[in-house]
Amino acid sequence: MPKGKNGKVFEVSLRLDSPEKGNAEILLNALVNAGVSPEEIVECEQWPYIDFSVYFRSLKKAQVLKKKMRALRLRGIPTRLKILHKNDWQTKWQEDFKPFCLTRRFSVIPVRFKGKRRFPGRISLFLDTELAFGSGLHATTRFMAGFAERCAGRYRSFLDIGTGTGILAMIAFKCGAQDVAAIDLCRDAVGVAKKNFIRNKCSSIDIRVADANKYRTSKKYDFVAANLITQDLLGLGKKIVQLVRPGKFLAVSGISYNSYDRFRQDFAKYPLRCLKIEKSEGWAALLYKKIGSR
């Protein structure tokens, strides 16, 4: 979350009180059309509501978004602007983040619950998410976690492009991958992921600050995971596909419904066979197998 002057953060939030898939999708598209990157939208379910929030350092920018959203006159969806003082925003997210079951095999336990809460039969992932994306609450992460779990035992090496908290790299490691690498262009995220690896006994994961666009390696991986925004996936497509060992897996996520067709058409040029598609809450993810011999 960005810190503004005097530690202030400006939150623009829209509240949906009928959490049907269609409504959430319309709202997400409206935010994206107003210039918000899908990555910046924080979704928080507080039954019976879903809040979609965007955070700014600048009051002016927050006011512009509020004005744009209000101009759309979305019926029954109020737009609010709130000033979060330092203590508010530091605690707000942490308070909302509670232990939960992520997949059949994994649960997420925020670090403050370590030793206090566990889900029998599931592997606990102890997570600090303060400065990085990847709590597992977002559909895009959940889809990827499911793919990594589903393919467990069929990959030995794993590359997590845009690792955020490191959640997918840790799942791969705990699913038996012995050679796990993770990159992120955000230094803060890499710092958080490193600590998460230590607290989850995954210290052998090779992690570094790197921009996927400039990442050079001749190595090929059995599983490449990339939960990025569609535009980045399209730009990085050739490179990402080259990193996958033939016969092995590529999982991509972060594709909003309105860019899904464009994504499918673009990725049709690569030697990939689609094995599984996940779609929910305005987001899509795909699991591919690389075909051919190169």
Give the chain's radius of gyration (CA, Å): 19
Neighbouring C-alpha atoms within 13 Å toward the C-beta of 16: 20
Strands 179-184 and 79-84, how do they pair?
A: unpaired
Which residue in 177, 189, 207, 287 binds ligand SAM (CB under 6 A)? 189
For residue 192, the surrounding DSSP H or E stretch is helix 187-199
Task: With beta carbons less than 8 A apart as the criterion, state whether 195 and 214 touch.
Answer: no
Contact stretch for ligand SAM (CB under 6 A) within 2-10, 76-84, 108-116, 182-190: 182-190
Which residue in 183, 192, 207, 244 binds ligand SAM (CB under 6 A)? 183
The CA distance from 262 to 284, in Å, is 12
Q: Does 254 bind ligand SAM (CB under 6 A)?
A: yes
Q: Does 228 bind ligand SAM (CB under 6 A)?
A: yes
Q: Which residue has the tokens 């512009």?
A: 64
Residue (77 or 175) nearer to ligand SAM, CB: 175
Q: Does 186 bind ligand SAM (CB under 6 A)?
A: yes
Which residue in 77, 125, 212, 284 binds ligand SAM (CB under 6 A)? 212
- Give least dist CB 207 to ligand SAM, A: 12
Which residue in 211, 246, 261, 291 binds ligand SAM (CB under 6 A)? 211
Binding residue count for ligand SAM, defined by CB under 6 A: 25
Residue (13 or 230) nearer to ligand SAM, CB: 230
Binding mask of the shown chain, residues 132 to 171, with x at each position contacting ligand SAM by CB under 6 A: xxx------x--x---------------xxxxx--xx---
Q: Does 184 bind ligand SAM (CB under 6 A)?
A: yes
Q: Does 232 bind ligand SAM (CB under 6 A)?
A: yes
Q: Which residue has the tokens 């490193």?
A: 194
Task: With beta carbons less than 8 A apart as the criterion, state whether 52 and 41 touch.
Answer: yes
Q: What is the DSSP string of 197-225?
A: HHHTT-TTSEEEE--GGG------EEEEE
Residue (42 or 77) nearer to ligand SAM, CB: 42
Name 22's Cβ contacts closer than 8 Å, sequence gap at least 6: none
For residue 11, the surrounding DSSP H or E stretch is strand 9-16
Amino acid symbol at 290: K
Nearest-5° Cα angle at 125, 124 to 130? 140
For residue 71, the surrounding DSSP H or E stretch is helix 59-71
Residue (13 or 253) nearer to ligand SAM, CB: 253
- Give least dist CB 17 to ligand SAM, A: 27
Give the tokens for residue 26.
Answer: 């319309």
The CA distance from 59 to 279, in Å, is 34
Q: Which residue is nearest to ligand SAM, using beta carbons? A: 162
Q: Does 44 bind ligand SAM (CB under 6 A)?
A: no
- Give least dist CB 165 to ligand SAM, A: 6
- Give least dist CB 202 to ligand SAM, A: 14
- Contact positions vs ligand SAM (CB under 6 A): 39, 132-134, 141, 144, 160-164, 167-168, 183-186, 189, 211-213, 227-228, 232, 254
